[in-house]
Amino acid sequence: MCRLSLAMIVKNEEKHIARCLDSVRGIVDEIIVVDTGSTDKTKELAMSYGASVYDFEWIDDFSAARNFSIEKSTGDWNLFLDADEYITNDCRDIIRRFINNNQAIGKIACTNYFYDGDELHKRISHISRLAPKSVFFEGRIHEQLCSDLPRINVDVQVSHDGYLKEGKSDRNLPILYSELESDPKNPYILYQIASTLFASKKHAEADQYFRAFYECAPILANYRYTGIVSYLYNIIALKKFEEGLQIIANEKDRLSGFPDFHFVCGIFYMELVLSDVGRYIKYLPLIEQEYLMCLEIGETDVFDSVVGTGSYCAAYNLAAYYEVSGNTAKALQYYEMSHKWGYEKASQRLAVLKPTIR
């Protein structure tokens, strides 16, 4: 019977660590916590859960800290969680079957919460977090498990609200820039810099890194798809519509099965037409087509995706398109669809529209 260790690196996480450690009760055989300089009660809280706590001098290298936690663990397998993550499903037996019957890397489903304006959204990503003791990390930041072992999705559901905190970009960017200096055409680092700047709404700064990423990212890289979607959102923010048209033309066949791609295309075509109706009116029908394609594909657990792009958000945007176009019957149909998925904005729109129908 394989033993499983939880291996964590932490700093000043007294507000979150108990929630994380509560979620692994009965799942792991030991808890390893590597502290990189906490000045609050993080270490004391971890020890109260029976964790073995080790100090590690921070050297701007996440892999070094992660690998130190692996060296300190005594299990046959390691589960890697951050303090602001926590398991949300009953997965003890699922994990045990996986580690006792596979020689592979386990990819867990992580729900990341983030704000778009004042609206809370969720992105589900499948990330490699369950590995045999012999597997270590590489990369100073956005570190990855380095192994030729196959990667298999495991039904472990984790929530992560760390993106709701401020200051991560201030911490991450200097390390990313330093990494890029030593490897100027590394597509993954370019992607991470672009994404970090984009998340901070520094669209003009992000643009050059998105362009460089797009030029050199391998076609089959698992981060390429999400990078292209973010690139298109950045293009919309900068109103570089001709550039966006070219990217969509390049990628429409390759990314045809991704709901997030069709969703951003729907937004792109709307903004394109509004920017110059006379010039771009021919693209108007594509708004409807893209959102219908989102609904045809539906929500996906095959690719990383923002929840709603294959369901309630797509239905809502399609309803708004019909409403503006004067097709009230279809608008109501798709607002109702979005409402049934529990989308509050659709419910609010229905409350406005329904009293006007006679």
The tens digit of pLDDT for each residue in 15-71 reads 999 999 999 999 999 999 999 999 999 999 999 999 999 999 999 999 999 999 999
Q: How confident is the model at residue 354 (pLDDT cuts 50, 70, 90)?
A: confident
What pLDDT is recorded for position 170?
A: 67
CATH code, domain with 23: 3.90.550.10
C-alpha to C-alpha distance for 338 and 343, rounded to whole angstroms: 6
What pLDDT is recorded for position 265?
A: 98
Give 54's strand partners. Answer: 34
Q: What is the mean pLDDT of residues 272-290?
A: 98
The tens digit of pLDDT for each residue in 217-247 reads 999 998 999 999 999 999 999 999 999 999 9
What pLDDT is recorded for position 358?
A: 45
156 in any annotated domain: yes
Question: How many domains does the structure of the chain reveal?
Answer: 1
What pLDDT is recorded for position 165?
A: 62
319 in any annotated domain: no
290 in any annotated domain: no
Q: Is the pLDDT at 167 greater than 60, yes or no?
A: no
Q: How confident is the model at residue 356 (pLDDT cuts 50, 70, 90)?
A: low
* Boundaries of domain holding 9: 4-164
202 in any annotated domain: no
C-alpha to C-alpha distance for 109 and 202, rounded to whole angstroms: 29
264 in any annotated domain: no
* Token pair in block for residue 346: 């659709």
Which amino acid, residue 239? K
152 in any annotated domain: yes
103 in any annotated domain: yes
Beta carbons within 10 angstroms of residue 132's beta carbon: 18
232 in any annotated domain: no
State how beta strands 85-87 and 105-116 pair: unpaired
The tens digit of pLDDT for each residue in 134-153 reads 999 999 999 999 999 999 99
Q: Which residue has the tokens 């009660």?
A: 41
